[in-house]
Amino acid sequence: VGGNNGAGCGTSNSEFHPTVQALIENNLADELVAGCILPYVAQAPEPEFQSTPAPDTSLQFGAHEIGGGSGQQYVLVENIGDAALSLDCSISGADSSSFGIEACPAAISAASSADIIVQCAPQVTGILSATLELSMNDVDEADASYPLACEGVPVPLGEIILRQGFEGN
């Protein structure tokens, strides 16, 4: 506990529960004594967002055929706080129509986790990019984003094998 020459209450890094009357002494020659009443202020429960991978980490889907199956990427969202975390997921950007959100929990209870599942289903050929955006009720991290990258490749043409001659009835 620190003091300020006995004229009042000094600063302290200590927590006192509940309201406590503290007697703070100093080592001044005149033996002054200062008294303080330090109220306990309870912290309201708060959600606390954490994710794997961390925000701003690019999610790479690789190459996928146009109109074919899609690759999936996962973002593990953890609520390490002591209140429910509300979550809203969206995809923005020029190529957002080639990406989709397969799973996004609306809320994650305290001390729990859930996966966000994102997919790429290319609509055109070429390198595609967009951004997964998360909005939440975490006081110090209300938003998080993850760049998305995928490559749309053409569907291969089938092969036709021609042979000379015909046998049969």
| Same domain as 80, residue 18 | no
Do 68 and 106 fall into the same domain?
yes
- pLDDT score of 40: 74
Regarding whether 138 and 58 lie in a shared domain, the answer is: yes
- Same domain, yes or no: 58 and 137: yes
Number of domains in the chain: 2
Q: Is the pLDDT of residue 1 over 50?
A: no
Whether residue 168 is predicted with pLDDT greater than 50 in this model: the reply is yes
Residue 114 located in a structural domain: yes
Determine, yes or no, domain membership for 162.
no
For residue 159, being part of any structural domain is answered with no
Task: Quote the pLDDT of residue 18.
Answer: 52
Residues 30 and 68 in one domain: no
For residue 100, CA distances in Å to 77, 95, 118, 138, 141 come to 18, 11, 6, 24, 23
Residue 53 sits in the same domain as residue 30 = no
Write out the residue range of the structural domain in which residue 12 sits: 1-42
At 29 the pLDDT is: 56
Stated pTM of the model: 0.69
Beta 59-65 vs 85-92: how paired, if at all? unpaired
Beta strands 143-153 and 126-136, pairing class: antiparallel
In angstroms, the CA 95 to CA 122 distance is 9
Q: Can you tell me the mean pLDDT for 1-17?
A: 51
In contact, 56 and 78? CB cutoff 8 Å: no
pLDDT tens, residue by residue, 100-140: 999 999 999 999 999 999 999 999 999 999 999 999 999 99
**Interval 63-109: pLDDT, tens:** 999 988 778 999 999 999 999 999 999 999 999 999 999 999 999 99
